[in-house]
Amino acid sequence: MKILLAPSERKTLGGNFPPISKNSFIFPEIYEKRKEAVKKYDEFLKTTDDIKNFGDDKTSVFERPVKKAVLRYSGVAFEHMKYEELDKSAQKWIDENVYIFSNLFGVISAGDLIPHYTLKQGSKPGFDIYSYYKEVFSPVLEKINESEPFIDLRAKFYEKIYKPKNAITFKFIKNGKVVSHFAKAYRGKLSAVISKHRPETIEDVLKIPFEDIKIIEIQEKKGVKEIVCEVF
């Protein structure tokens, strides 16, 4: 199974490895397509003064040092995943099976090597990067999804790039109300727990003893199971 996660705007600086190359990412067969989008972003940085959405670093993305994506992103979900506290086998599972929908790089694995960058959700670096990546990644992901269900923990926004047909989603309820912002924390916690149990089917997921979460209902629509949970 694969977990689908949103990226975070907050990121750590620095990097331990040389700049990006074809070997930095999953799906090497579409690296040139990914590279094309990043080049357009690179060129756009030279022309924009929009620091809020694109940052103030004018260094070429292709010259910046890189680190694992799961360590680059440092938002709420990644904080609560506590990747560095997991054992090596759980970390390896996350590296290979958590797909992050980067605003700049498209669909990457948690173990892919990426530089620090700024591209706020929904911003367009001179072109519609989300429509572009939808065309690039949808066929790749659909092929995987035919044989593997996805655990979709993303924000709805990233369905602009890809929406699975065979998936599980989670809705978190607390005191009778849907949890919104803090749902990111539960997504991170779920990712960590799932990495320890490494389920292969939806039925396996339902057997996992999640902490602080009680499954109260399962709804299904068009192949997607929504697990409604009460959180404590």
Q: What is the pLDDT along the chain (232 residues), one digit of tens a residue?
A: 999 999 999 999 999 999 999 999 999 999 999 999 999 999 999 999 999 999 999 999 999 999 999 999 999 999 999 999 999 999 999 999 999 999 999 999 999 999 999 999 999 999 999 999 999 999 999 999 999 999 999 999 999 999 999 999 999 998 888 887 789 999 999 999 999 999 988 889 888 888 888 888 998 888 789 999 898 7
Contact by Cβ (8 Å): 187, 98: no
Tell me the C-alpha distance between 232 and 212, whole Å: 5
**pLDDT for residue 54:** 97
At 97 the pLDDT is: 97
pLDDT of 3? 97
Can you point out the beta strands (E) in 15-116?
66-68, 98-102, 106-109, 113-115
Kindly report whether the global pTM for this prediction surpasses the value 0.85: yes
pLDDT at 140: 97
Is 103 within 8 Å of 129 (Cβ atoms)?
yes
Helices then strands, counting H and E runs in the chain, come out as 8, 10
Residue 194: its H or E element: helix 183-197
Q: What is the C-alpha to C-alpha distance for residues 102 and 84, in angstroms, rounded to an integer? A: 21
To the nearest 5 percent, what fractions of the chain are helix, strand and coil? 40, 20, 40
